[in-house]
Amino acid sequence: MASQTEHYILPRPEFDRPVKLLIVVSPYYRAVADQLVAGAKAEIEACGGTWDLIEVPGALEIPTAIGLAERLSNFDGYVALGCVIRGETTHYETVCNDSSRGLTLLGLQGLCLGNGILTVENLAQAEVRADASGQNKGGGAAAAALHLIALARRFGDDRKAVGFRPDHGEYRLAEGGEGPGIA
């Protein structure tokens, strides 16, 4: 059982300038979500960081909300939190796989994010993993995002354009209005 196995945890990263993270949570299972959020907030604050919090209806909406925030705001990183409990249909696999895939694709585009979406068989498993004074998977997800932010800053540019980026008005019509020109 994972709760009885000792795990190595990296030391907290240190930052020479403040970090700001967005916590995106699906509160479908409110008590579990609240514990995940408490753990994430505590970890971010322990590194001297700040956070904002938004709620979305379900785990499938978490990657979309993070993608929107990345395009329209100025966060250094993101923490994805939620809980998916196996039910009687294959919907569980769809939600688990697609939310994870969405977060992975965002990470491969250069976003610094931690995935704290629990995928469990029952509520009891979720409660054990979410407990901020126990397994603290919310804190673990925040720690992952913080370590990636530190790594990005170590590489020298915390906001390099990796993958698709909107143009933000970098193109304009060419003289005479005949197609795009470069501004």
Enumerate the active-site residues.
Answer: 91
Helix axes 137-154, 123-130, angle to 10 degrees: 50
How many helical (H) and strand (E) elements, i.e. helices and strands, does the chain have? 5, 6
The DSSP element (H or E) to which 145 belongs, if any, is: helix 137-154
163: Cβ–Cβ under 8 A, 6 or more apart, which residues? Answer: 108, 109, 110
Nearest to 76 by CA among 156, 137, 153, 167: 153
> In whole angstroms, how far apart are CA 138 and each of 17, 25, 28, 32, 181?
23, 10, 15, 10, 46
